[in-house]
Chain A
Amino acid sequence: MNRHLAAAALLAALSSPAYAGPPDPADPLASVMWDVLRPELFGTAPIQFDDRVTVTAPDNAENAAAVPVMADATALGAVEEMVLFADLNPFPVILRFQPLAAKPVIATRFKVQQATPLRAAARTPDGVWHIGGKLLDAAGGGCTAPPATYAAADWADHVGEVQGRAWAPTGEDKATRVRFLVRHPMDTGLVAGIPAYFIEALTLRDADGRALAQLQTAEPLSENPVFTLEVQPAAGARSLTLDGRDNQGGEVKAAIPLPWVQGTMQGALP
């Protein structure tokens, strides 16, 4: 409710003569929600539609409860924040991501309620949001179907379990690929009788506690969400830590071992 009020207020502010910025470029995906989402997500910050932000996803959602998507803004250079969103989902924002010591690349899976534009926006240090995206067709219903989690009587015993793994750095940027899965029903609150219950925050840290990547996660992420990130831990670090919490106070905590790499230990030897 508040969000809608805020959006309406912003919209009013934008359309008033007080707003002096240049007019926005036309939305290449011609979304009916764009005029509402633009102020809600980006306020009055400048935006541009930019092919350098790529969104990889299927044309059709085979499974509306788990659509794979990868957003990549590495072509922009430095990026401070990314937002992944699906215009026509009941909750458009899928996640926000700050790549503090990480490449501006993220992949995950999410629930889709109906055919929708699917987009990634990346904010560069000059404050400009660069937006890429594509259309996703779907039979839909992913946000209002009960999770399969509850079929198991002992599901509550497994919430917060993490499976994860890191791969040795490759390529010129020496980024370490990390993939992890967190057991969680990720309830949207849209299924009758099942309150919203989802992971809100996840942070991946270096061995010394320094945050490498921060995520603010939201309702549309698929049940037992999976993430792929590319981080830059300090040389010689032996493991990463993952911590986070859900909207009911449940905590996520795990340590993901880093693969041993020839030569990285030398500095640490006496």
Chain B
Amino acid sequence: MRALLAFFLLVASAAPGWAAGPLTYNLKPVAIAPDTWVFEGTREHFTRTNGGNILNPGFIVTDDGVIVIQTGPSRRFGEEMRAAIAAVTDKPIRKVFVSNLHPDYWLGNRAFADVPIAALPGTIEGIKSEGQGMTENMYRLVGDWMRGTEPLVPTETVYGSTVVFGTHRLRLIPLEGHTAADLAILDETTGVLFAGGVVFSDRTPTTPHADIGQWLAALDALDALEVTVLVPNHGRIRSDKAAIVQTRDWLSWLDRTLRERAEAGADMAELLDAPIPERFAGMGVLREEYRRSVSHLWPRIEKAVLPRVN
């Protein structure tokens, strides 16, 4: 009897998502500034437990309707976002912005198919060419959470500009470095910066489409802005610019370390377990993202230190 009870307790407590019935992200918007909410994701990698909920999508309620920033990793996520937004306001969704081509930013698009979905030209091109492959990989990584998710390419092209919705002036800032096209959005009315993929906060940066030099320049551009709240797309939301400093520190260390080791004759495999300075220990997914970055960045760095010999 006791064993049976223990079994039921185990089922009830250890497996919140799947044992309790249909999968749910249980999204709860957090108010971070006037009219502005964020759904805070975990600081993990995509797993079958978190369903891909690793991003900080948000929304701004304006007199001209709701502005949504990123739609999350799956159709289910987008639908849950939409329901959570409807619980906060009865205003219609006015427009969606997608900051870059990585799958967790836009795979919830299907839930917003009835409104304009805006992105930079480079993001749209990237989703057209790589979107299907990234979607398939997400099914592999998080499984059933993805059910019903199909790529939906953003429908509206935006460029660097300032757009006004109700009383909110949004500055659209085109950057590059994290990917070939990274959109940051500064709400000049509240001072909230949705930094896009360029800033990570206590979560190790991801580099599959990165150009480190351009990325460092993009961080400088964001550092120059007047910001009250900084929403990194992964990790802790902050009222200072410490996340910009941390992202710059990590990228500089990573780039320098790979170059130094390549120059000294190291092989790529030897970099996988290389020591990482203690100051980065608080960043989520540290060793795993570091290893991914070695895979992304090493081949080009290596080529530069091997001279032509025939």
Binding site for B on A (CB under 8 A): 56-58, 60, 62-63, 66, 68-70, 107, 109, 139, 160-165, 167, 177, 179-181, 226, 228, 242, 253-257
List, in ascending order, chain B residues with CB within 8 A of A139's CB. 137, 140
A68: which of B264, B268, B308 is its contact (CB, 8 Å)?
Answer: B268
Q: Say yes or no: B295 contacts A181, CB within 8 Å.
A: no
Binding site for A on B (CB under 8 A): 137, 140, 208, 264-265, 267-270, 272-273, 288, 291-292, 294-296, 298-299, 302-303, 305-310
List, in ascending order, chain A residues with CB within 8 A of B272's CB. 56-58, 68
Q: Say yes or no: B269 contacts A254, CB within 8 Å.
A: no
Q: Say yes or no: B310 contacts A255, CB within 8 Å.
A: yes
In this complex, the member of B208, B265, B294 whose beta carbon has the largest number of chain A beta carbons within 10 angstroms is B265
Top-3 shortest CB links A-B: A254-B310, A70-B269, A62-B295
A–B complex contacts, Cβ < 8 Å, 9 sampled: A63-B295, A68-B294, A109-B268, A167-B264, A167-B265, A177-B265, A181-B303, A181-B306, A226-B268
- The distance from the CB of A221 to the nearest CB of chain B, in whole angstroms, is 14
Q: Say yes or no: A107 contacts B309, CB within 8 Å.
A: no
Q: Say yes or no: A107 contacts B310, CB within 8 Å.
A: no
List, in ascending order, chain A residues with CB within 8 A of B296's CB. 62-63
List, in ascending order, chain A residues with CB within 8 A of B295's CB. 58, 62-63, 66, 68
A161: which of B137, B264, B308 is its contact (CB, 8 Å)?
Answer: B308
| CA of A161 to CA of B272, assembled, Å | 28
| CA of A167 to CA of B305, assembled, Å | 12
Name B272's closest neighbour in chain A (CB-CB).
A58
- The distance from the CB of B134 to the nearest CB of chain A, in whole angstroms, is 11
| CA of A181 to CA of B208, assembled, Å | 23
Q: Say yes or no: A164 contacts B306, CB within 8 Å.
A: yes
Q: Say yes or no: A68 contacts B269, CB within 8 Å.
A: yes
| CA of A92 to CA of B102, assembled, Å | 33
Q: Say yes or no: B309 contacts A179, CB within 8 Å.
A: no
Q: Say yes or no: B265 contacts A179, CB within 8 Å.
A: yes
Q: Say yes or no: A162 contacts B269, CB within 8 Å.
A: no
- The distance from the CB of A177 to the nearest CB of chain B, in whole angstroms, is 5
The verdict on A163 contacting B303 (CB below 8 Å), with A56-B270, A70-B267 known, is yes
